[in-house]
Structures are given as C-alpha cells and as structure tokens.
Amino acid sequence: MKLFAKLAVGTALGLALLTGTASAENIKIGLVVKSLGNGFFEAANKGAQEAAKELGGVDIIYTGPTTTTAEGQIEVINALIAQKVDAIAISANDPDAVVPALKKAAQRGIKVISWDSGVNKDGRILHLNPSSNELIGNMCLKLAADHLPGGKGDFAILSATSTSTNQNTWIAEMKKQLPKYPGLNLVTTVYGDDLADKSYREAQGLLTSHPNVKVIVAPTTVGVLAASQAVKDAGKIGQVYVTGLGLPSEMAGAVHSGATKQFAIWNPIDLGYSATQLAYRLVKKETDGKPGSEINAGRMGKIKVGDNGEAAMADPFVYDAKNVDEFAKIF
Amino acid sequence: MSRILKYRELLLVAIIIVLIAAFSYRAPGYASPKSLANIFNDTSILIILALGQMAVIMTKSIDLSVAANLSFTGMAVAMLNAAYPGIPLPLLILTALAIGAILGAINGFMVWKIGIPAIVATLGTLTIYRGTAFVLSGGAWVNQTQMTPVFLNTPRMPVLGLPLLGWTAILVIAIVSVVFTRTIFGRSLYASGGNPTAALYAGVDVGRTKFFAFVLSGALAGLCGYLWVSRYAVAYVDIAAGFELDTVAACVIGGISTLGGIGSVGGAVLGALFLGVIKNALPVINISPFWQMAISGLVIIIAVLFNARQERRKGRLILRDAAKRRPSRIEAPVEGAAA
C-alpha cells in the first residue's frame, strides 16, 4: 500500500510537472483530496476548474493519495511544496498528522486552507466548511425523524473510520442537538471504515443485534450506499430506512428501491468552486483570512470567516425521489 | 503428514464451532441456520480468492495482486455492463474470468520466464492493476442505476436457502479440490513447492506449474471481481483495498505452508471461514473498532506461530527416525536435518 501510494504520488508529480511548466506565470493551486477516485471529490474538482476558468490565470493541480491515509497526504503535500505551488486547499484525512507538512508549506509562503474535512488551527489560515457542522448535525437528525412514524423511534449511526475528522464532528453535533427531537433515541454508533464490505457487515450487524433500530443514519457516501444494499438484501425495505449524506448519482438506486426516502448533501461542485475562490483571494492578498473578514467567492457571494478561522458555505440540500434523477446526471 | 493435516483441519473446525457458540451466547440468533448461511455467503468471495492464493503459495510464491486484479476486472465488467446492457450475463462472467486469467498470466510470465521473485512481481502488478483500473474508469464510480438488474441480482438469487453467490463458492471448492488432488497439474503444485529439485527430476516443469498457478489465481480473482461488484452494487477503484492480505491470512490460518508444498483445500476454506466468522461476529457483539483490528491481527500471528512450530517438528522427526533405525551406517544425518 505504501509503495502504491509512493508510485501514485510520483506519477501524479511527474504529470503535474509536465503540465505545470507550460504556464509558469499562472497561479498554481493544489487541490488535495482525501483519496482519488471518489465521486464527491471529482465533482469538487469540476467546481475548482470552473472557478479557475472564471478567475483566469489559475492552474488547479488536483491530487491526493489513492487510499484515505494521512501518510499518503503528507507525501502529496511534500510533492506540492517541491512544485512551488502558490496555495494548497486540503480535505484532510487526519486533523493533526498533516499539520507539520502544512506548516512547512506555510513557511515557504504557500497559502494553506482546508475545506470539507478540516485541519487544526495552526496548520491552515482558514477552514471552509461545506455547511456549518451544526446545520449538518441537525439535518441528519431531521432526516432520521422524517423517516420514523411521528418522529419517534430508535436509530443508529453508521460512520466511516473512527478517526475521521468530519464524521466525528457531525456525530458530536447530532448528540448535542438530540434533545430538540424528543422522540429520537440514538442506540449505537458503528464504524464501516468507508469500505463497502465492512460497512455492509456493520449494517447487517445492526439489523440483527438491534431489531428496534428503524433508521440507519450514515453521514458517508460509501456507508449509506452499503447500508441501503444490506437493508435491501435482508428484505427489510419498508421496515428499516437508511438516510444520511450521499451523492445523488450513487444514491439514485437506493431511492428507487425504497431503502432510502430522502438524503442530503451540499453541492460538491460549489464547494470546490468556493475553496478555489478563497485560495485565489488569499494568494492575491485581497484578504488575510483572519476571523471576522469577509471574502468574495464569486457566484457563491461573500463567505464570512468565523471563530477559529472557520467559514460555512451553505445549507445541506435534501434529495428525494422527485429530484434525485435530475441531480444524478450532474454528480 | 496426512495425520497432522487432518488434525489441523479438525482443530480449525472445533475452533470455529467454539467461536460460533461463544458469539451466539453474546448475540442470540448468531448461530441460527439463516445467520450461518449469511456468514458463508458473505465469506464466499474470500474463500474463492483464498483457493487461488493457495495454489500460488503451494509453489513457494505469493500473489499480492489478487485484490487489484479483482478491482480492475470488476470495474471492467461493470463498465461493459453499463455501456452495453445487451451483453448476456454468462458472456460477461466468461469475460471476467478471461480478463482475470490474463492479468494472472502476466504475473506468471514474469515469475516463470523473467525470473522476478513472485513477491516483487505481484507487488508491482498490484499498483499497476489498480492504477489501470483508475485510468480505465477515470476515477468515476459505476453506480447501481447504471448496471442491469440481471447483472446485480443473479448472485443474490436464493437456491435452497443459499444465494447463488454461496453456491458459486461451493462449486469452485469442488472443482479446485478435484484439480488439486486428481490431476497432473494438482500433483505438480505439491511437488514443485515441496521439493523443486526432486520435482524437476520427476519430470515436473516447476516454472510452468507456477505460471498456471498464477493463471488460476488470476481467473478466480476475475470471477470475484464480478461477484464483488454485484454484491455491493457499486464499482469504484478502491474496492477490496487490502483484501489480498486477507487471502494470505486465510491460507496461513488454514495451514498452507508459506514455504510451499503443504496444504489442503479444506484448510484454505476453513481458514477463510474462520476469518469470516470473526468479521461477521465483531459488529454483532459490540466490540470497539480498535479492538477489532487488534483481535484480527493477533489471531493471524497465533496461527503463524502454530504453523511454524508444526513444520519444524515434522522436518526433524523424519530424519531422526531414519537416524534411529540405522544409527551405525548413516554417519551424518544431522547435516541433513540442518538443510
């Protein structure tokens, strides 16, 4: 795996160097994602490219490790430093592990921001949340309540890895806001590691060991998909519902089968677009990105930086049988 | 030797039964026939891959590219199905077997003709196959709605209470055990791993045997590519990441010697089932995810320790027996023992 990551990084670096030398004057922004080959990040890249075209004179280097590891990201960051990029926008696999590498980047004048999954305060200038964590936690609870008759009943959470930054933040928010939904009862939280087979097995385990669980909330694309499949295979469609955060193209099948009634996600295209806009403004010194500053983000309007240097983009958007096919064509 | 192996398999069966009993004590219903059928079905893919891996390990090699092969082939057939929904399923399955066999043949060719050590050759192809899967798909997922219902639902069609996926595993077990015990190729596997020099003198082409072991492993991995994609109803580059280690672990637990030449189909199947039972039980008995990883690792190390001890004792016993029987005539049996 390690060697695989190294080879992949090497190849990515080689390719990036080839394309990078052609336009040395352009502003180079490294868009570092959790792992390559994930539909969500491919969509974010689309948004980043859109912003680059709109701003002009910006090259996006879309890169990341091939598996969701912090070590892989550190190697990618080092490669970007060697390429002398102007800014790095990262969705981190671990909030702490990538900080030393990002600090090294900052010392060399590279503007570092994080987006989607955050980095600790001292590793970046600001962090762009796709939405506020509070709103996402609330949305997950609302989805769970909407799937239960009268909003009352047991539900369980199926997460990704137990160390995933954004997953843990959202779960903490859900727990905090649980009193707002008096009928809801959180039974347990299980971890599927964002692997299809493990998530499937964990969902199966939930069905057998907690027969009272009527809703599985999975705030991760792999998890929500695997859980839907597990519910379908167990013949429990209509008794147990799956909801959470997923991409319309991936979830369309689950919505049609009836395993999921509705789910939510922000628009990853907008997220990649905004992250690129923010990185560009920082490189151009239009803003210092300190808490309290308002940054122009093109068609997304002004994004305000709040406490801890965290900024929120927009509300998560709910998809159901009516609109899922339309959005499935986009991402 | 056969007595030790039988003992080994019986021991595994006993351990698996004890585990199931212990788990069902904590999670009632775990030992119900339906749940057990579920576990077997869930382990089917691992069983099939472990049998391919076993053929390779028996020849003193290792195939680290099985999971990458699975990912590439799965992606390829899923994309074929999405692009040309008219292709009949049997043809797609044959395509999967063929693609897998070709990828396996590449490994085998490097080991046989170029003489690259198997661990290095397959470590290289591991990255190449996954990388190619990425290039092939452009990083995009193939989703449930893009694949045809026949493609997705055939392996989960129940026949006599067990889905076709489980029956596929049973069929593969049957075929592989006949091939390993009743054919020239099967006996060559044991011979070329057990003592390559003696095998050569007996007329076995060791390199060629290795080549076909890799082809078999590749073809089975290709078949699993289709099975995996249809089971989880999604194809993306990362599927089965790290699964090659599970197949090696299943073989090691099942008593397949990593030094080659020793092992049985029953052992590999039981090794896979052992892992399957644990993997399926851990979510049900509410153990922290950190413990789950530690437990899986511990079990593998214990199995390897157990293996190493058994192999060593056996090797010495044979020579010591010979030495005891004819102590006066043979002067240097100790040298033989050291070798």
| A18 located within any domain | yes
Q: Does A204 touch chain B (CB under 8 A)?
A: yes
| A95 located within any domain | yes
pTM of the model: 0.75
CATH of the domain at A91: 3.40.50.2300
Q: Does A15 touch chain B (CB under 8 A)?
A: no
Least trusted range by pLDDT, from B113-117, B227-231, B297-301, B303-307 = B303-307
Question: How many Cβ pairs within 8 Å bridge chains A and B?
Answer: 103
Quote the CA–CA distance of B62 and B320 in Å, as a whole number: 31
Is the confidence at residue B336, as pLDDT, over 80?
no
CB atoms closer than 10 angstroms to residue B105: 17
User: Do residues B240 and B48 make contact, with C-beta atoms less than 8 angstroms apart?
Assistant: no
Say if residue A145 is in the same domain as residue A225: yes
Identify the segments of chain A with pLDDT beneath 50: 20-23
User: Do residues A303 and A295 make contact, with C-beta atoms less than 8 angstroms apart?
Assistant: yes
Q: Is B292 helix (H, G, I), strand (E, B) or coil?
A: helix
Say if residue A125 is in the same domain as residue A272: yes
Say if residue A101 is in the same domain as residue A180: no
Nearest CA in chain B to A39: B140
B91 compared with B283, residue with greater pLDDT: B91
Say if residue A257 is in the same domain as residue A209: yes
Using a CB-CB cut-off of 8 Å, the residues of chain A touching B27 are 208-209
User: Do residues B13 and B264 make contact, with C-beta atoms less than 8 angstroms apart?
Assistant: no
Q: Is B236 in Cβ contact with A195 (below 8 Å)?
A: no
B325 falls in which pLDDT band (50, 70, 90)? low
Q: Is A197 in Cβ contact with B240 (below 8 Å)?
A: yes
The whole-number average pLDDT for the span B219-232 is 95
Tell me, what's the pLDDT at A330? 66
Say if residue A275 is in the same domain as residue A300: yes
Quote the CA–CA distance of A213 and A114 in Å, as a whole number: 36
DSSP single-letter state for residue A110: -
Tell me, what's the pLDDT at A7? 62
| A62 located within any domain | yes
Quote the CA–CA distance of A151 and B203 in Å, as a whole number: 74
Residue from A2, A4, A34, A157 to probe the interface with B (highest B Cβ count within 10 Å): A4
Q: What is the CA radius of gyration of chain A?
A: 20
Nearest CB partner across the interface for A196, out of B29, B144, B234: B234
Using a CB-CB cut-off of 8 Å, the residues of chain A touching B132 are none
| A330 located within any domain | no
Say if residue A70 is in the same domain as residue A120: yes
| A325 located within any domain | no
Q: Does A258 touch chain B (CB under 8 A)?
A: no
Using a CB-CB cut-off of 8 Å, the residues of chain A touching B26 are none
Both tokens of B203, joined, read: 């007329």
- Name residues whose C-beta falls within 8 Å of residue A21's C-beta, 6 or more positions apart in sequence: none
B330 falls in which pLDDT band (50, 70, 90)? very low
Mean pLDDT of chain B: 86
User: Do residues B76 and B93 make contact, with C-beta atoms less than 8 angstroms apart?
Assistant: no
Nearest CA in chain A to B132: A8
Tell me, what's the pLDDT at B339? 37
Q: Which of A265, A300, A322 is the last residue of a domain?
A: A265
Q: Is A292 helix (H, G, I), strand (E, B) or coil?
A: coil
Report how many domains make up chain A: 2
Say if residue A140 is in the same domain as residue A125: no
Quote the CA–CA distance of A295 and A51 in Å, as a whole number: 15
pLDDT digits (tens, 9 = 90+) for B105-145: 999 999 999 999 999 999 999 999 999 999 998 878 888 88
Quote the CA–CA distance of B170 and B176 in Å, as a whole number: 10
Which domain covers residue A298, as residue numbers? 2-131+268-314
Quote the CA–CA distance of B215 and B101 in Å, as a whole number: 5
Tell me, what's the pLDDT at B139? 78
Buried/exposed code over A166-193 (b: 16+ C-beta within 10 A; e: otherwise): bbbbbbebbeebeeebeebebeebbbbb
Nearest CA in chain B to A188: B286
Q: Is A112 helix (H, G, I), strand (E, B) or coil?
A: strand
Dihedrals phi, psi of B87, to nearest 5 degrees = -65, 125
Tell me, what's the pLDDT at B335? 42
pLDDT digits (tens, 9 = 90+) for B15-33: 889 889 988 888 778 888 8
Both tokens of B223, joined, read: 């078949």
Say if residue A138 is in the same domain as residue A127: no
Nearest CA in chain B to A331: B140
User: Do residues A220 and A167 make contact, with C-beta atoms less than 8 angstroms apart?
Assistant: yes
Quote the CA–CA distance of B184 and B214 in Å, as a whole number: 16
Both tokens of A135, joined, read: 């709103």
Q: Is A36 in Cβ contact with B134 (below 8 Å)?
A: yes
Say if residue A137 is in the same domain as residue A196: yes
Residues 138 through 177 of chain A touching chain B, CB cutoff 8 Å: 162
One-letter amino acid identity for A90?
Answer: I
* Closest approach of A101 to chain B, Cα-based (Å): 25
pLDDT digits (tens, 9 = 90+) for B83-104: 999 999 999 999 999 999 999 9
User: Do residues A209 and B27 make contact, with C-beta atoms less than 8 angstroms apart?
Assistant: yes
Is the confidence at residue B173, as pLDDT, over 50?
yes
Using a CB-CB cut-off of 8 Å, the residues of chain A touching B134 are 36-37, 66
- Name residues whose C-beta falls within 8 Å of residue B257's C-beta, 6 or more positions apart in sequence: B57, B263, B307, B311
Q: Is A16 helix (H, G, I), strand (E, B) or coil?
A: helix
Tell me, what's the pLDDT at B334? 43
Quote the CA–CA distance of B74 and B103 in Å, as a whole number: 13
Say if residue A278 is in the same domain as residue A258: no
The whole-number average pLDDT for the span B49-58 is 96
Tell me, what's the pLDDT at B287? 73
DSSP string covering B56-106 = HHHTT---TTHHHHHHHHHHHHHHHHHH-TTS-HHHHHHHHHHHHHHHHHH
Q: Which of A265, A296, A325 is the last residue of a domain?
A: A265
Say if residue A124 is in the same domain as residue A272: yes
* Closest approach of A209 to chain B, Cα-based (Å): 6
* Closest approach of B212 to chain A, Cα-based (Å): 26
Nearest CB partner across the interface for B289, out of A67, A162, A253: A162
Q: Identify the helix (H) or strand (E) that includes residue A174.
A: helix A165-177
Using a CB-CB cut-off of 8 Å, the residues of chain A touching B123 are 3
Q: What's the length of chain B? A: 339
Tell me, what's the pLDDT at A20? 45
Say if residue A77 is in the same domain as residue A197: no
Owner of token pair 């800014």: A87
| A327 located within any domain | no
Mark out chain B residues that contact chain A at CB-CB < 8 A: 27, 29-30, 35, 38, 42, 123, 126-127, 130-131, 134, 137, 139-141, 143-145, 156, 231-234, 236-242, 279-280, 282-286, 289-290
Tell me, what's the pLDDT at B310? 63
Both tokens of B160, joined, read: 């006599």
Tell me, what's the pLDDT at B320? 55
Nearest CB partner across the interface for A36, out of B38, B139, B156: B139
